[in-house]
Amino acid sequence: MPHLHFTVWGDLVDGFDPELLLSLGAIPEPTNPFHDFYLKMVNVFVNEQEELNRLAGHLRLSLMDKGKGQENLKTFNPLAIETRQDYGSYWGRWCVYVCRLYKLQKDGDTSYDVVMSPAQEKLAQMAWDYTYKTPGQQKCNAEGLAASLPQAFWSPECNKNFSYMCENQFNDMTVWFAAFVCLEQEGTFNQPRSAADKPVRVKYMVQAGMLRWAMWYIKEHNQLSIA
C-alpha cells in the first residue's frame, strides 16, 4: 500500500513477530500488574481535560506554535467529552509500552531493539518500581510520573544524542507506537482512512503530555501563573 511506503510503517514490522509487536502496544490484561498503572494514567489524562480551559491561553497557544507565524495559530483545546476516554487509553497504553520496551532492553532481549537515554531509562525504571511497588526505591505518584515521562521522552533537552535517527528518522519509540496500534491481529495494517485516525490520537497525546509537564514545572518552581 502506498501509505506504508510514505510512513515507513512496513519497515517497522517486516521480519518481526506480529504477536510481539501487538503485545507491546496492547492494553494490559486485568490480571497484569500494569493494568492498574494503565488505568491511573488514563484517569490523569481524562481528569486534566476538565481543567484545560482554565489554563492561561498563552500556554495552550504556545504549545501549537510551529514557528510559522501567529496568523493561523489555534489554541490547544480539550477534547469532546465522549472521546476523552478513548484518547486517554492511548496515553495509558504508551506508558505501559515504554515499560515493556525498557524490560526488553534490561533483559538483553533484542527481539525489538531500542535506544533509550539515561533520563528515559530512569523514568521507565521509576514507572516499573511504581507498578511493582519495589521496596526501597524512589517514591513517586501517578501525577508525577504522568508529568515526567513526557519530558524524558519528548523534550529535546533530555535527548542530546540523536545519532541513531541520522540513518532513519523514523527510529523513534513513539513513532513505532503509532504504527503498532494500527496493526491488525494478523500483522497487517488498517486501510489508510482507519490508520490515520490513530496517529492523530497519538499526536494529541504527545501535545497533552508536554503541556502537562509544563504545568508541573511551573507549579513546582512557582515561576508563572497557569490560570
Q: What is the pLDDT along the chain (227 residues), one digit of tens a residue?
A: 444 444 566 666 767 788 888 899 999 999 999 999 999 999 999 999 988 877 766 666 666 666 565 666 677 889 999 999 999 999 999 999 999 999 998 999 888 777 788 889 999 999 999 999 888 777 788 999 999 999 999 876 555 554 444 444 556 789 889 888 888 776 677 665 656 788 899 999 999 998 898 888 877 776 544 44
In a domain, 70, yes or no: yes
Q: How many C-beta atoms surround the C-beta of residue 41 within 10 A?
A: 24
Angle CA 120–163–4, to nearest 5: 85
**191 φ/ψ sector (left φ>0, alpha ψ -120 to 50, else beta):** beta
Q: Decide if 209 contacts 154 (C-beta within 8 A).
A: yes
Task: Quote the CA–CA distance of 111 and 93 in Å, as a whole number.
Answer: 20
The pLDDT of residue 29 is: 97
147 CB burial (10 A radius; 0-12, 13-18, 19+): buried
In a domain, 226, yes or no: no
Of the candidates 201, 172, 173, 184, which has an alpha carbon nearest to the alpha carbon of residue 42? 201
Q: Say how many domains are in the chain.
A: 1
Dmax of the chain from CA atoms? 53
In a domain, 227, yes or no: no
In a domain, 193, yes or no: yes
In a domain, 104, yes or no: yes
In a domain, 138, yes or no: yes
The pLDDT of residue 215 is: 83
In a domain, 110, yes or no: yes
| Residue owning grid cell 501509505 | 3
- Which residues have a Cβ under 8 Å from the Cβ of 94 and sit 6 or more positions away? 25, 174, 177, 202, 205
In a domain, 35, yes or no: yes
Q: Whole-model pTM above 0.75? A: yes
Give SS3 for 183. strand
Domain residue limits at 183? 2-221
The pLDDT of residue 38 is: 98
